[in-house]
Structure 1
Amino acid sequence: MTSPHQPVVVLSRALDQAGDALDTVHADDLDKPTTCRGWTVRELADHLAAAPQHFLQMARGEEVDWAAGTGVEPDVLAAHFRTRADDLIHHWHGQPDNRVAQADWQTAELGVHTWELLRATGDPMPLDDEVAERGLAFLQQGLTEDNRGDAFAPAVPVPDDASAYERLVAFAGRDPRA
């Protein structure tokens, strides 16, 4: 049986693996393409590293510029990310039980971008299936063909035996075979 705080537990694991993925980025990876809207590894890593701060700004009711990066050099993105990830987890631990399920959308965002980053750099780091499963379940609850916006291309078909991450990124409009 899972606890009401399972979304925060899984978000914590999503943050850990995103930080680990950022640690794998090397200078010779920065100009490689990714599956994310034509972004390079440099752009995707910076976007991923900025995510915890953006999530906190939103939680505080502040205006969030989702296009804003971290403003830090690529070699310190992982450390920048981890500091803000700790702040984000502290935020969620202070939330009442009836609000913690909202952490799943952050898990979805982190799961997709972590997969994309590792795919682009060729790093075989294993990923937590529960992160992908919770992220996919969240996206399937509200992401439709009509509200995908610029961030999500149409869902990509995958075989029935696709992995949890392949299903997540395919639903988010990324081709896991690309």
Structure 2
Amino acid sequence: MDTNEKQTHTKPLGGLLAAAVSRAVPVVAGIEDKALDAPTPCADYDVRALANHLLHVVVEFQKLAVKRDSDFSSPPDYVAEGGWRERFATEADVLVEAWSTPGAEEGTTGSLNMPARTVGGMALLDLTAHAWDLARATGQEYAAEPAVVAELTGVVERLAPTGREMGAFGAAVPVGADAGPFERLLAATGRDPYRV
């Protein structure tokens, strides 16, 4: 299969991000203030820190869609600024629009000069995995869109070795033969899909 044929069968990132956003926004909106200090499946983050991180991801990946430099070094404390739940919804829509723009998936972007499609996939992964993290930490339900899971399965396969070296992914967690695609995806990123 040549590259052009492969791209023909690939779903546009904008649509996949829109699907992920539609699942993530209700989770963020459902975070109560009393849950902000609760632990999450990401050992380095409590709910407040993870909400700040995810909002920063949404803001910075907008820049990467238009081939501008991003800065992930020190996320602002969006939660302390107030209105962060509403801002997340607004910025997430801007992210979808940015990655839906013609040319966003083409070429390379970011300081690592990575293929734009891969970079957009990283945004998709953060939106999906961290929405699950926040839902799990705050007692909410979360189910990923099947098309998003299918896309991310390939993204994680490509990124996992480097992601583990950089500490972004944990060691893969074993799952049973009856595990579904989303459970397998979470496990591949180092999350235990069964842990409450």
Q: TM-score range by the shorter chain?
A: 0.7 to 0.9
User: Partners in 2 of 1:95 and 1:53 — Cα distance?
Assistant: 19
Residues 70 and 137 (structure 1), Cα distance of their counterparts in 2 relative to 1, 3 Å cut: farther
- Residue 83 of structure 2 aligns to a residue in which SS? helix
Moved more, 70-79 or 20-29: 70-79
Which of 109, 121, 124 is residue 138 of structure 2 equivalent to? 121
Match of 2:111 in 1: none
Q: Identify the structure with bigger relative contact order (alpha carbons < 8 Å, sequence gap 6+).
A: 1
Match of 1:61 in 2: 68
Indicate whether 1:172 and 2:189 are aligned: yes
Structure 1 residue 136, shift from structure 2 partner: 2.3
Indicate whether 1:156 and 2:162 are aligned: no
Contact 1:4-1:97 within 8 A present in 2 as well = no
Moved more, 3-12 or 47-56: 3-12
Moved more, 68-77 or 125-134: 68-77
Moved more, 144-153 or 84-93: 144-153
Structure 1 residue 30, shift from structure 2 partner: 0.9
Match of 1:141 in 2: 158
Which of 73, 77, 80 is residue 73 of structure 1 equivalent to? 80
Match of 1:30 in 2: 36
Match of 1:21 in 2: 27
Match of 1:52 in 2: 58
Residues 72 and 120 (structure 1), Cα distance of their counterparts in 2 relative to 1, 3 Å cut: closer
Structure 1 residue 5, shift from structure 2 partner: 4.5
TM superposition score normalised by structure 2: 0.78
- Residue 116 of structure 1 aligns to a residue in which SS? helix
Q: Which runs of 5+ in 1 are unaligned?
A: none
**Equivalent residue pairs, number:** 177
Give, as a single letter, the amino acid of the residue that structure 2 aligns with 1:111. Answer: T
Match of 2:110 in 1: none
Match of 1:104 in 2: 121
Structure 1 residue 97, shift from structure 2 partner: 7.8
Moved more, 65-74 or 39-48: 65-74
Moved more, 70-79 or 102-111: 70-79
Structure 1 residue 147, shift from structure 2 partner: 4.6
Indicate the RMSD between aligned Cα atoms, in angstroms: 2.5
TM superposition score normalised by structure 1: 0.85
- Residue 45 of structure 2 aligns to a residue in which SS? coil
- % of aligned pairs identical? 28
Contact 2:163-2:169 within 8 A present in 1 as well = no
Runs of 4 or more off by more than 4 Å in structure 1? 2-5
Residues 61 and 97 (structure 1), Cα distance of their counterparts in 2 relative to 1, 3 Å cut: closer
Indicate whether 1:89 and 2:96 are aligned: yes
Give, as a single letter, the amino acid of the residue that structure 2 aligns with 1:77. Answer: W
User: Partners in 1 of 2:81 and 2:193 — Cα distance?
Assistant: 26
